[in-house]
């Protein structure tokens, strides 16, 4: 495949993006599609189209995204989304500032040498993209003085990364502090999570134990506690009850529709009561479901009383009357032994993974190390198929392995597309199978909140991507092509791998182009969600709740999006000096991502949680990891091409580790805990502790009759004089509310 074919494939990708963008412009202007393209605005009670539909410019979304402020993002999608755009802007700035120097200096330096002509075997793309060879370090003669320009460029990229990431860390830290200082009442700022409760003494309940312990330490500000219980049975009953309520709503909607279309009486729906509604007695559906709801409600109330009285577990939520005490309690050591009275910040009510809260201290540690081992094995064994895929999905190898494909792949148009995109498409599809497994592994560690699970899974996915995609593809492709050379001369393995770096540049250039042109085109057009929504609405949805469920967009999916972005920045950094032509593709990826995702954040995605920027330290760590890998790669590459002054690069990895250490010591603690000076800011109004307390009650334990004495007693509060009203303990445990 020649250089012209490479440009043709890029042009094809760009054409696909333009087509998808035009589709978005046309489809998003139709009122029937508003819930797919503007759900975030609709849920906030805003008009889908700013300024009205009739006067709307087809490219108005670009203007709106560019003119939006950080405060607009916060108002529509929260602090976490604003922090994500700080990350995108920081990485974009790193690549732009690096590219200004590298493209202007390194491209002329490389293109005016003639190493490629002297050694035709050492090419940027294994003997195909000959014009690109002249723009990379593959065209620089070993030990040439021209290598000084490339060595200085390594320092320039590192310096730009240090400066911009430092500024970003300060900015995000200020964003988090301002959000936590907000005068608005946030329930999680008045609560702490207490795990690893000690065994209860005879004659005492868990609630009495927790209340007396925290009352003695915080006599003036302790409000009350909720001790968790095993709520599996009551959850099951509640889920069954909710199922009948949904069926009733659907049945009533069908009945109302029949009344509108037919006579005023309508046709009352019926169903069979046997297996899957296929057999049994024919009954009136509305009456049947109402009767079922009545019986299940009585059963739920009875089980709630048993659960509250008899199924207490070893964890609790403790509430305080002010934010400072809660912040102080969350970062204080309460017990002499580390495995007793473990107190941490309480997550948002919607974030709690209830099944994990009662896992004991040492069990959590054992689980954590077991998960690390599983992740390591996953990385190792996934590297085998990924390396295999990278090796066999080249067109030449496919022709050898599958001769019957020759008539198809030899056609010029098909050959061009397959050569450019087949390995990358195979890799992207293969990687799509992984995220759910990593989320599952992170959850079974015993992590208490959904946002923390996402951060943990994101880290695992990043390391997996770097080790398998970046390193695995490079090593796999090289070994497959040079296996005979390695067998004949084993000592040649390291030089071969080093020299293969320029040879894989075009693979990753095409990989990046495919991700931003096709990936962001599909993101913007939302073709698949649109098709699924209309199919579900036409054939499956009857009630308003079902229709809303069909179009509800979910969140921005940080668990997969952030690691994918990190993989791109790792690839672009590592090749930025070796093959500077990759930098414009990295800039396009993050610039287009910033633009498209800004539109989606303002109009489409609905946050499923708010962690006030706690993802940022993890993002910063990955950026530093990518930079360190880049510096080590360049150190090794300069060493292999025998440049005498390679040791000048040795301080860079040390400097990166030192920079990371300073950033962590200066900023990280404020992301783990709430600073007391932040928590001490005045609130707009006196917090309603009853509402704060009730916000943590799971649906399965909310009484059907709000005046039920059992619950009123259980929700007894501490009086102003500090005395307790002891009654039936309100305790709960719920697992179906976990937010992932």
pLDDT digits (tens, 9 = 90+) for 189-214: 999 999 999 988 888 888 889 999 99
pLDDT over 60 at 532, yes or no: yes
Range scoring the smallest mean pLDDT among 63-67, 97-101, 462-466: 462-466
pLDDT over 60 at 729, yes or no: no
pLDDT at residue number 398: 54
Residues in CB range of 336: below 8 A, 6 or more apart: none
**Confidence tier at 590 by pLDDT (50, 70, 90):** very high
Question: Roughly what angle, to the nearest 10 degrees, separates helices 450-465 and 361-392?
Answer: 40
* Helix, strand, coil content of the chain in percent (nearest 5): 70, 5, 25
pLDDT at residue number 512: 81
Distance CA 603, CA 40 (A): 5
- Closest by CA to 412, choosing from 125, 132, 1, is 1
- Closest by CA to 680, choosing from 343, 191, 327, is 327
Whole-model pTM? 0.85
pLDDT at residue number 413: 55
Instruction: Count Cβ atoms within 10 A of the Cβ of residue 197 and give its class: 0-12 exposed, 13-18 middle, 19 or more buried.
Output: buried
pLDDT at residue number 496: 59
pLDDT at residue number 424: 59
Asked if 346 contacts 448 with a C-beta cutoff of 8 angstroms, the reply is no
pLDDT over 50 at 633, yes or no: yes
pLDDT at residue number 654: 96
Question: Roughly what angle, to the nearest 10 degrees, separates helices 412-431 and 361-392?
Answer: 170
Range scoring the smallest mean pLDDT among 312-316, 617-621, 637-641, 676-680: 637-641
Distances (CA, A) of 401 to 86, 128, 133, 392, 635: 47, 21, 29, 8, 38
DSSP string, 659-709: HHHHHIIIIIHHHHS--HHHHTSPPSS---HHHHHHTT--GGGS-SSTT-H
**Confidence tier at 718 by pLDDT (50, 70, 90):** very low
Tell how many helices (H) and how many strands (E) occur in the chain: 33, 6
Distance CA 450, CA 448 (A): 7
Q: Which two tokens stand for residue 478?
A: 């090289």
Asked if 90 contacts 171 with a C-beta cutoff of 8 angstroms, the reply is no
pLDDT digits (tens, 9 = 90+) for 265-294: 778 888 877 777 778 788 888 888 899 999
Question: Over the chain, what is the mean pLDDT?
Answer: 82
pLDDT digits (tens, 9 = 90+) for 662-711: 999 999 999 999 999 999 988 888 899 999 999 998 888 888 665 544 44
Q: Which two tokens stand for residue 132?
A: 């690109």
Phi, psi of 528 (to 5 degrees): -65, -45
pLDDT over 60 at 415, yes or no: no
pLDDT over 60 at 458, yes or no: yes
Range scoring the smallest mean pLDDT among 343-347, 498-502, 568-572, 590-594: 498-502
- Closest by CA to 503, choosing from 481, 521, 524, is 481
The sheet with strand 191-195 has its strands ordered as 222-229, 312-320, 191-195, 342-345
CA angle 379, 382, 386 (to 5 degrees): 125
pLDDT at residue number 400: 60
DSSP 8-state secondary structure symbol assigned to residue 61: H
Higher-pLDDT residue of 192 and 501 is 192
Residue 233 belongs to what H/E stretch? helix 232-261
Region 144-167 average pLDDT: 93
Collapsed DSSP state (helix, strand, coil) of residue 377: helix
Residue 227's DSSP bridge partners are 316, 731
**Confidence tier at 129 by pLDDT (50, 70, 90):** very low
Distance CA 165, CA 76 (A): 25
Specify the pairing of strand 312-320 against strand 191-195.
Answer: antiparallel
Residues in CB range of 353: below 8 A, 6 or more apart: 443, 447, 448, 449, 450, 453, 735, 738
Distance CA 663, CA 661 (A): 6
Asked if 214 contacts 287 with a C-beta cutoff of 8 angstroms, the reply is no
pLDDT over 70 at 307, yes or no: yes
pLDDT at residue number 333: 93
pLDDT digits (tens, 9 = 90+) for 547-565: 998 999 989 889 889 988 9
DSSP string, 67-118: H--HHHHHHHH-HHHHHHHHHHHHHHHHHHHHHHHHHHHHHHHHHT--HHHH
CA 142 to chain centre: 43
pLDDT over 60 at 480, yes or no: no
pLDDT digits (tens, 9 = 90+) for 354-404: 889 999 999 999 999 999 999 988 887 776 666 666 555 555 555 565 565
Collapsed DSSP state (helix, strand, coil) of residue 328: helix
Collapsed DSSP state (helix, strand, coil) of residue 468: helix
Higher-pLDDT residue of 643 and 676 is 676
Residue 320 belongs to what H/E stretch? strand 312-320
Q: Which two tokens stand for residue 608?
A: 């499923």
């Amino acid at each position: 495949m020649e250089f012209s074919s490479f440009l043709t494939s890029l042009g094809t990708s760009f054409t696909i993006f333009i087509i998808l963008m035009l589709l978005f412009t046309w489809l998003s202007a139709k009122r029937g599609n508003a819930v797919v393209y503007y759900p975030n605005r609709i849920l906030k009670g805003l008009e889908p189209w700013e300024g009205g539909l009739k006067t709307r410019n087809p490219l108005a979304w670009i203007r709106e995204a560019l003119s939006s402020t950080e405060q607009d993002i916060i108002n529509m999608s929260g602090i976490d989304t604003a922090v994500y755009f700080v990350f995108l802007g920081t990485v974009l700035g790193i690549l732009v500032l690096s590219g200004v120097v590298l493209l202007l200096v390194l491209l002329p330096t490389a293109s005016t040498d003639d190493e490629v002509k002297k050694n035709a075997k050492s090419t940027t793309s294994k003997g195909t993209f000959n014009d690109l060879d002249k723009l990379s370090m593959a065209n620089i003669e070993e030990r040439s003085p021209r290598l000084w320009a490339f060595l200085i460029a390594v320092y320039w990229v590192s310096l730009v990364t240090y400066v911009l990431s430092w500024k970003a860390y300060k900015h995000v830290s200020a964003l988090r502090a301002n959000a936590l200082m907000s005068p608005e009442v946030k329930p999680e700022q008045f609560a702490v999570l207490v795990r690893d409760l000690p065994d209860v003494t005879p004659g005492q309940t868990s609630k009495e134990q927790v209340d007396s312990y925290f009352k003695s330490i915080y006599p003036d500000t302790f409000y009350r506690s909720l001790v968790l219980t095993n709520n599996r049975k009551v959850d099951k009953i509640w889920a069954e009850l909710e199922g009948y309520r949904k069926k009733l709503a659907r049945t009533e909607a069908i009945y109302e529709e029949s009344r509108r279309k037919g006579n005023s009486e309508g046709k009352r729906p019926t169903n069979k009561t046997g297996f899957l509604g296929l057999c049994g007695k024919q009954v009136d559906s509305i009456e049947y479901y109402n009767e079922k709801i009545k019986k299940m409600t009585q059963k739920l109330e009875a089980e709630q009383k048993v659960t509250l009285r008899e199924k207490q577990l070893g964890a609790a939520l403790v509430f305080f009357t002010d934010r400072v005490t809660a912040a102080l309690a969350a970062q204080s050591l309460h017990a002499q032994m580390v495995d007793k009275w473990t107190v941490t910040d309480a997550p948002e009510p919607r974030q709690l993974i209830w099944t994990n809260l009662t896992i004991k201290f040492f069990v959590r540690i054992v689980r954590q190390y077991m998960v690390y081992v599983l992740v390591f094995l996953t990385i190792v064994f996934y590297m085998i198929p990924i390396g295999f895929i990278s090796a066999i999905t080249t067109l030449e190898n496919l022709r050898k392995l599958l001769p019957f494909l020759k008539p198809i792949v030899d056609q010029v148009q098909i050959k061009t597309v397959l050569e450019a995109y087949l390995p990358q498409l195979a890799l992207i599809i293969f990687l799509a199978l992984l995220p759910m497994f990593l989320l599952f592994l992170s959850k079974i560690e015993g992590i208490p909140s959904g946002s923390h699970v996402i951060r943990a899974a994101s880290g695992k996915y990043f390391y997996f991507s770097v080790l398998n995609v970046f390193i695995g593809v490079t090593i796999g492709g090289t070994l497959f092509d040079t296996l005979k050379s390695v067998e004949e001369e084993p000592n040649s393995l390291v030089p071969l791998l080093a020299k293969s770096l320029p040879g894989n540049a075009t693979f990753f250039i095409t990989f990046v182009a495919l991700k931003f042109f096709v990936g962001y085109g599909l993101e913007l057009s939302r073709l698949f969600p649109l098709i699924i929504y209309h199919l579900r609405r036409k054939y499956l949805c009857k009630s308003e709740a079902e229709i809303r469920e069909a179009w509800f967009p979910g969140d921005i999916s940080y668990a997969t999006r952030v690691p994918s972005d990190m993989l791109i920045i790792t690839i672009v950094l590592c090749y930025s000096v070796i093959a500077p032509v990759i930098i414009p593709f990295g800039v396009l990826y993050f610039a287009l991502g910033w633009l498209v995702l800004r539109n989606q954040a303002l109009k489409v995605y609905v946050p499923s949680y708010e962690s006030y920027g706690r993802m940022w330290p993890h993002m910063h760590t990955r950026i530093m990891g990518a930079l360190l890998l880049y510096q080590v790669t360049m150190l090794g590459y300069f060493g292999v091409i025998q440049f005498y002054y390679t040791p000048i690069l040795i301080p860079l990895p040390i400097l990166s580790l030192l920079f990371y250490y300073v950033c962590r010591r200066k900023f990280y603690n404020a992301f783990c805990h709430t600073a007391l000076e932040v928590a001490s800011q005045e609130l707009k109004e006196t917090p309603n502790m009853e509402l704060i307390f009730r916000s943590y009650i799971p649906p399965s334990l909310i009484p059907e009759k709000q005046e039920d004495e059992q619950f009123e007693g259980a929700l007894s509060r501490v009086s102003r004089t500090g005395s307790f009203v002891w009654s039936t303990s309100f305790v709960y445990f719920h697992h179906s509310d976990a937010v992932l």
